[in-house]
Amino acid sequence: MKTLSAQFFKICTFFLVVIITTTAGVSIPSISKRETVGKCPDPNFPEFVGSACNDQHSMTVQCKNRNNARNSNRQQCNQGENCIDFLLNDEVPFAMCVPVSKLLHWTNGNYNNQVCSGTIRFDSGTNGESISIGLNTYDTNGNLIQVFDVVGRVNNKQIGEVKNQHNYSQIYRQYNVHDIVTFCFIPGISNPNNPEYANEAIAYAYIVRLSAIGGKDVQVTDIEPVISQNNTLYIEN
Ligand SMILES: *[C@@H]1O[C@H](CO)[C@@H](O)[C@H](O)[C@H]1NC(C)=O
Ligand SMILES: *[C@@H]1O[C@H](CO)[C@@H](O)[C@H](O)[C@H]1NC(C)=O
């Protein structure tokens, strides 16, 4: 009986170990909300300098060594992620692949109107923190496409604007929980023979807490997933 239960215990332990190992093996990608950020895989250029989206599914990462020699490499997003340009604290460009399901997205279709996003906000966390706001515009083939104008707003008050860019990145200080972030863009390059018509751009936007993405040295990070978004679209007149 004793040997039997000892045997049984051994078997159980064996299975337990197997179960734990398997779970630990898959837990990082499937359970945690880990966005993809640029890395410096070459040990000869270990230091992160900055990263920028290359297209909808990849980024270019700049790395350097102690002598400030630079090297850049291309990194792919995971399946189901889009690349978004953000800024780190000291205006360092920082691209991140964010699951599409988390992103605010909207499009002008082919109309030459200003089109505005739904809403995105944090519903938990601390008041008064800084957030990094990122938006990119892509064409229907997933290439970056310039738009004429992008504005960002917090609680309906304009906080920033860029013209003739495919990305809008801004740090907003003193963000309070439930503050609502929205965006509008005016598409680019309309056909001069038909001013009603514009190229279709799809905007993707996201907000992250700066404390969650850390500083320049951070190369992998978990971004707080507690975000409410409302993808209801509206056109501004
Ligand atoms: C935006 O795009 C430009 C051009 O690709 C790039 O240089 C810049 O780093 C990007 N990111 C930000 C945050 O501006
Ligand atoms: C979603 O956003 C729109 C536009 O701001 C607003 O009219 C609507 O009430 C919002 N819906 C919810 C459920 O928050």
Q: How far is the CA of 175 from the centre of ligand 2 (A)?
A: 20
Q: Quick one: pLDDT at residue 41?
A: 86
Q: Which residue has the tokens 């993405």?
A: 213
CB 77 within 8 A of CB 61: no
Ligand number nearest to the C-alpha of 236: 2
Q: Quick one: pLDDT at residue 229?
A: 63
Q: Quick one: pLDDT at residue 30?
A: 27
Q: How far is the CA of 9 from the centre of ligand 1 (A)?
A: 58
Ligand number nearest to the C-alpha of 168: 1
Nearest residue (CA) to ligand 1, atom 1 = 167
E strands in the chain:
36-37, 47-55, 58-64, 70-76, 81-87, 93-99, 104-107, 115-116, 119-122, 129-138, 147-154, 157-165, 167-175, 181-186, 190-191, 194-198, 202-209, 227-230, 234-235
Ligand number nearest to the C-alpha of 123: 2
Q: Quick one: pLDDT at residue 220?
A: 40
Q: How far is the CA of 169 from the centre of ligand 1 (A)?
A: 8
Q: How far is the CA of 153 from the centre of ligand 1 (A)?
A: 20
What are the residue ranges spanned by the domains of the chain? 36-235
Which atom in ligand 1 lies closest to the alpha carbon of residue 134?
Answer: 13
Q: Quick one: pLDDT at residue 227?
A: 57
Q: Quick one: pLDDT at residue 228?
A: 60
Q: Quick one: pLDDT at residue 234?
A: 47
Per-residue pLDDT for the chain (237 aa), expressed as one digit of tens each? 444 444 444 443 333 333 333 322 222 222 234 457 788 889 999 888 999 999 999 999 999 999 999 999 999 999 999 999 999 888 899 999 988 888 999 999 988 889 999 999 988 888 999 999 999 999 999 999 999 999 999 999 999 999 999 999 999 999 999 999 999 999 986 666 777 788 999 999 999 888 877 655 544 444 544 356 666 554 443
Q: Quick one: pLDDT at residue 230?
A: 65
Nearest residue (CA) to ligand 2, atom 5 = 118
Q: Quick one: pLDDT at residue 17?
A: 35
Give the residues surrounding ligand 1 with Cβ less than 6 Å away.
52, 85, 87, 93, 167, 169
Q: How far is the CA of 42 from the centre of ligand 2 (A)?
A: 46
